[in-house]
Amino acid sequence: MDFVWIALGIAIAGFFIGNGIKKINYPYSRNYIEYMDEEEEHELIKESEVHRYLGVTKKDAKLLLHGQPDLPLINLNGRVYFVKRKLRDWIINLGN
pLDDT, block means (10 residues), the chain with 96 residues: 87 82 65 59 84 89 83 87 85 78
Angstrom CA distances, 17 to 21, 30, 67, stand at: 6, 17, 53
Does residue 93 share a domain with residue 61? Answer: yes
pLDDT at 57: 92
Does residue 51 share a domain with residue 80? Answer: yes
Does residue 79 share a domain with residue 48? Answer: yes
C-alpha to C-alpha distance for 81 and 48, rounded to whole angstroms = 9
pTM for the predicted model, two decimal places: 0.54
The whole domain housing 2 covers: 1-30
Does residue 52 share a domain with residue 23? Answer: no
pLDDT at 36: 57
Specify whether the CB–CB gap between 22 and 29 falls below 8 A: yes
Task: Give the count of domains, the chain.
Answer: 2
CA dihedral 66, 70, 73, 78 (to 10 degrees): 60
Neighbouring C-beta atoms of residue 60, cutoff 10 Å:
12
